[in-house]
Chains A and B, each alone.
Chain A
Amino acid sequence: MSAESPEPKEQAVAASDDTTAASTEPASSGGDRWREAYFRIISGGWAVSLGAVILAVLAGSLMIMVTDQGVQAALPYFFARPGDTFAAIGSAVGGAYAALFRGAVWDFRADDFAGAIRPFTQSLTMATPLIAAGLGVALGFRAGLFNIGGKGQMLVAAAAGGWVGFGVSMPFPLHMIVAIVAGVAAGAVWAGIAGVLKAFTGAHEVITTIMLNYVAFYLVSYMLATPGLLQAPGSSNPKTPPMQDTAVMPDLLGPRYNLHWGFVFALIAVAFVWWLLNRSKVGFEYRAVGENPDAARVAGINVPRTTVSVMLVAGGLVGLAGVTQVLGTVTTGFSYDIDAGIGFDAITVALLGGSQPIGVLFAAILFGAFKAGGSVMQAAENVPIEIVTVVQALIVLFIAAPPLVRAVFRLPQPGARWTRSSRKEVAA
């Protein structure tokens, strides 16, 4: 039922498209261009991504409905007073998504603009590591590599960057830069191990990166529990000391907001990856290897070396995510849960973003908003925060099955163009 609701509108779009298609057949090239553009948009990844988000949010409202106590209370006497049930559903779903919006975008209960915009800056803060890690995973995808090692790469990056951050004394901003470089390098090396194994022994990167996650987790856990390594002196908790002020990424919008310079670094990373993929020789080779390694080899590209190089860059980007966590978001010292599932969310972000840098940016901001808004939703409306996680998971599920999304929204299948309608005509 919930999935049906957007259909009439979409059908109207599809219908109008059919008429345009018919009417522009003999028309000028201007109309053709418009039609081309329209089809590129709706048959491309963007439409599927958007459709997947809509479907997942609708499925999420179903779950809010089912888990809401007001709805559960009204449901037993549904046939006596159905209005109560609908009112309860409305208030549950409406309230939940309003709270999500209030926690993620705009706090309409705040007194002033500065307060109202605070949730959005919080979403951007949450999005920061997702952007960087999402770029790392997306870069791998473009080169035909499935990097599931985000968790491990973030952990070693946090450990290396954090150690420099609290253990070394240097002036600002040199301290911060050295810490960032250390973390990025650590992430790169960690992913590079998987790259080397793939390039020279053929070991599949999915297996090796997963295993390296375990290695990193227990390695960092050990270091956190060992005095003289990462553990804070005089403490028995597996936690590091706080970062020195000279290593911390400064606030971007002043002390009132959590948003820090890590977000700017993430944006720079977006631009860098875009340039790398679309304008550089190296990125050209990455993409060639990703799309067709055989042709790449015949064209003189050293495929093993490219594999290692892709993993190094991808790991470095994920490493940046780890560093923004410890030097920007959680500067009071960290523990082995500092990755906060970002390494895996990054896969979702990369998929949702269609492995395009700009797409990753927006997907990460959406997921950052989910994270920021989810906790407000839980606090204000008693909606379990797990629903946000389920919605995220459903997004991936829908993204992984584009034909399903296209069928629901009546989007054309790729390459099929107008066969759908012509087939209908034949059947009719």
Chain B
Amino acid sequence: MKLELRGITKRFGTLVANDQISLTVEPGEIHCLLGENGAGKSTLMNVLYGLYTADEGEVLLDGEVQHFRGPGDAMAAGIGMVHQHFMLIPVFTVAENVMLGHETTLPGGRLDLDAARTKVNEIARRFGFQVDPDALIEDLPVGVQQRVEIIKALSRDAKILVFDEPTAVLTPQETDEFMQIMRQLRDEGAAIVFITHKLREVREVADRITVIRRGQVVGEATADQPDTELAAMMVGRAVELTVQKSAPKYGANSLVVQDLEVTDPSGIVVVDGVSFTVRGGEVLVVAGVQGNGQTELTEALVGLQKASGGSVVLDGQEMVGRPVAEVLGAGVGFVPEDRSTDGLVGEFTVAENLMLDRRGGPPFVKAGMLQLGPRDSFARDAVEEFDIRTQGIGEQVSRLSGGNQQKVVLARELSRELRLLVAAQPTRGVDVGSIEFIHKRIVETRDAGVPVVVVSTELDEAVALGDRILVMYRGRVVGIVPSTTPRDELGLMMAGITPQKGSDVA
């Protein structure tokens, strides 16, 4: 089926999210939609999927104008969408999720689960997936959950498949497999829209590339154009893609983690005997696929999670067992993984958020009273220094873009005397322009002699930013290697395989 979008315009109040966007996707091609966060890619796809109604323009399938009133219409017309955040019910089985929305029933109103099972098996066989139709979604790894989403779309005979940032949650190996699946779908004649901001993936699979910036199509590109050109189109200016850093100059500070163990409420050991040392002036990147204990590790470092064993020693002081406020007060900067939930109070202003974890005393609090003057002047300086794009320090932080929100968190954590910086996924969901800036600031912190621990699930970032890379798998350290280690080897380590031994650690 051929998909055509003609002059789609979608406005939210004064904001024009999509401005006269036209796009054609032929059957049997992978069409990449490349753009930064907030460029309007997702809005466009939501228009296509019937979640939004376009203010102007039309959607055509095989030349016929469509009027979708909701996702149901879009699905019926043959459009399947795999969202970035999976739309699966965790406590349902694979088969139940696949049939959800158009359940077939046997006489007496009983669900025809067998039909759904058959369908799952059939599609899985076609693509060589390993999926148990009776497995509960919550028990499945993320990569498999994504396949369930794909099966769901295919079970409805989707001829046009939209993938919205599908690789964000996958291991490098899973990503490779996913690329393979996309190629296979394409070869079967599906029209594929692949939304991403990762240039490497674009170059690997794209048949055609459309670059979107600020709601407008800024041009088409081909897969053989260099990264810097694609990035420049995306951001609208030349971008530095590599992190500039010199050899580490070790400082006096040090973080020594010894046999750290964290047990989650259900009794499962999620951080299992982790030991490492970070010296002042170096960046240790904790790499690994999401959900392998990195979150718990960082939270244990700052005291948010109770360590069930082991020690965290910063400059000779034991940190385990201390309340969070004390750890932060000791000079630990913490950039939490999920900034909107854990890092910021959305309803608070930029200025209020900038002092959120600095209530301990002067300059922002004196004798239990907020010092609005120092707070506001600090906020104005921080907005300036960190290039936070906001209407003012009194603006609600929830109104800022993801990248600017992250800059607020960074500004807060970096503009005080630090003895350790722990940054979890500091660039996730952040636009390319801001990534450049955030990386620069992290390197500056390192060069100031502060030990830095960065958690990243993106291999590119790990390699670019880290002096050394610690790979975690199922709560354990697979290995700590220099950042010059080949990507293949790192990829295998992220899957739990130690290359030297060639054996599974878990």
Contact = CB atoms under 8 A, between A and B. Distances in A.
Q: Real complex partners, A and B?
A: yes
Interface of A: 278-282, 284-285, 287-288, 291-292, 294-302, 415-419, 422, 426
B345 A418 contact: no
Contacts of B334: 298
A25 B352 CA distance: 31
Given A281-B368, A284-B359, A417-B14, 6 more contacts: A281-B370, A284-B352, A288-B356, A292-B345, A299-B356, A299-B357
A297 B324 contact: yes
Contact of B341 (A280, A294, A416): A294
Contacts of A282: 368
Interface in B339-353: 341-348, 352
Interface string B90-109: 00000000000000000000
Nearest to A416: B13
The 6 closest A-B pairs by CB, nearest first: A300-B325, A299-B357, A417-B13, A300-B324, A299-B356, A292-B345
Chain A interface secondary structure, helix, strand, loop or mixed?
A: helix
A306 B368 CA distance: 15
19 contacts: A279-B369, A281-B359, A281-B368, A284-B352, A287-B345, A291-B345, A291-B348, A292-B341, A292-B347, A295-B341, A295-B344, A295-B356, A298-B302, A298-B342, A298-B343, A299-B324, A300-B324, A300-B328, A415-B13
A189 to B, nearest CB: 23
B199 interface: no
Given A284-B359, A297-B304, A298-B324, A291 B346 contact: yes
B304 A281 contact: no
Interface string B352-372: 100011010000010011101
A294 B329 CA distance: 19
Contacts of B347: 291-292
Nearest to B359: A281
Contact of A418 (B14, B356, B368, B369): B14
A299 to B, nearest CB: 4
Nearest to A283: B370
Interface string B288-325: 00000000000000101000000000000000000111
Given A288-B356, A292-B341, A280 B325 contact: no
Given A281-B365, A298-B334, A299-B357, A288 B12 contact: no
A288 B344 CA distance: 9
Contacts of B343: 295, 298
B336 interface: yes
B489 interface: no
A422 B11 CA distance: 9
Contact of A279 (B326, B328, B357, B370): B370
B55 interface: yes
A23 B356 CA distance: 40
B326 to A, nearest CB: 8
Contacts of B328: 299-300
B12 A419 contact: yes
Interface string B209-235: 000000000000000000000000000
Contacts of B55: 422, 426
A406 to B, nearest CB: 16
A292 B370 CA distance: 19
A418 B13 CA distance: 5
Nearest to B367: A281
A169 B1 CA distance: 92
Nearest to B341: A294
Contacts of A419: 11-13
Contacts of A416: 13
Interface string B365-385: 100111010000000000000
A296 B334 CA distance: 13
A284 B370 CA distance: 8
Interface in B57-73: none
Given A297-B324, A300-B328, A281 B369 contact: yes
Contacts of B369: 279-281
A301 B345 contact: no
Contacts of B13: 415-419, 422
Contact of B346 (A287, A292, A301): A292
Contacts of A417: 13-14
B354 to A, nearest CB: 11
Contacts of B12: 419
A118 to B, nearest CB: 41
A334 B237 CA distance: 76
B67 to A, nearest CB: 14
Contacts of A278: 370
A26 to B, nearest CB: 14
A294 B295 CA distance: 14
Nearest to A417: B13
A415 B342 CA distance: 24
Nearest to B338: A294
B368 A280 contact: yes
Contacts of A280: 368-370
Residue of A284, A296, A419, A422 ringed by the most chain B CB atoms within 10 A: A284
Contacts of B336: 298
Contacts of A287: 345, 348
B57 to A, nearest CB: 12
Q: Which of A279, A282, A298 has the most CB of B within 10 A?
A: A298
A195 to B, nearest CB: 19
Contact of B325 (A284, A288, A301, A426): A301
Given A297-B304, A299-B357, A288 B368 contact: no
A416 B11 CA distance: 11
A294 B304 CA distance: 10
Contacts of B304: 297-298
B453 to A, nearest CB: 16
Max count, chain B CB within 10 A of own CB: residue among A279, A280, A299: A299
Contacts of B326: 300
A297 B341 CA distance: 11
Contacts of B323: 300, 302
A209 to B, nearest CB: 25
Contacts of B324: 297-300
B40 to A, nearest CB: 17
B344 A292 contact: yes
A374 to B, nearest CB: 37
Interface string B1-35: 00000000001111000000000000000000000
A426 B11 CA distance: 11
Most buried by A among B56, B326, B342: B342
A288 B348 contact: yes
A301 B303 CA distance: 12
B360 to A, nearest CB: 8
A290 to B, nearest CB: 9
Contacts of A294: 341-342
A412 to B, nearest CB: 10
A65 B440 CA distance: 72
Contacts of A296: 345, 356
A95 B326 CA distance: 65
B477 to A, nearest CB: 25
A295 B359 contact: no
A415 to B, nearest CB: 8
A417 B12 CA distance: 9
Contacts of B341: 292, 294-295
A285 B368 contact: no
Nearest to A292: B345
A299 B333 CA distance: 10
Contacts of A426: 55-56
A415 B13 CA distance: 8
A151 B413 CA distance: 45
Nearest to A284: B370
A278 B351 CA distance: 13
A268 to B, nearest CB: 18
A299 B348 CA distance: 14
A354 B171 CA distance: 48
A200 to B, nearest CB: 16
Nearest to B56: A426
